[in-house]
Amino acid sequence: MNILFVCTGNTCRSAMAAALFNKIATEKNLDVRIESAGLFALDGEPASNEAIIAMKRYGIDLLGHHAQTINTELIEKSDLILTMTKAHKMVLEQAAKGKVFTLCEYAGLDGDIADPYGSDVEEYEKCADMLNNALSKVAEKLGNN
């Protein structure tokens, strides 16, 4: 299964979500391919310093991350697209009918994953913890299918 995580700039939330889910999927032996993209990403941008620091707590190195803008090819090759907010989902629904959900919605949770961009490391760590919680539920769901 090809899973695409989407946020705004692909330097924080979707990058962290992809890295965290890659770790979870490996631990649970899920057969998934994971990518991330941003609706308004600047191609090639690195992950934010705060995201890199927040991921170190999970034993994940985000230094090699390079942002990419979402495009038709990414949408078409994805089986499941998980967005960070309802607004992201609304932008993609037309192009990705039936395969786009907010991360929280797919995980059976309420709300959105708030953007920590411009905040301190503590906010990024809270975001990472929220992502990890939701992604654990997604892994359970996919493991039961």
Catalytic residues, by residue number, are: 7, 13, 115
| Residue found under tokens 């760590």 | 125
Distance CA 127, CA 91 (A): 22
Q: How many beta carbons lie within 10 A of that of residue 97, not counting itself?
A: 8
Amino acid identity for residue 67 in this structure = A
Q: Are 114 and 95 in contact (CB under 8 A)?
A: no
Write the CA distances from 59 to 9, 91, 105, integer angstroms. 23, 33, 27
CA triplet 10, 68, 90: central angle to 5 degrees? Answer: 60
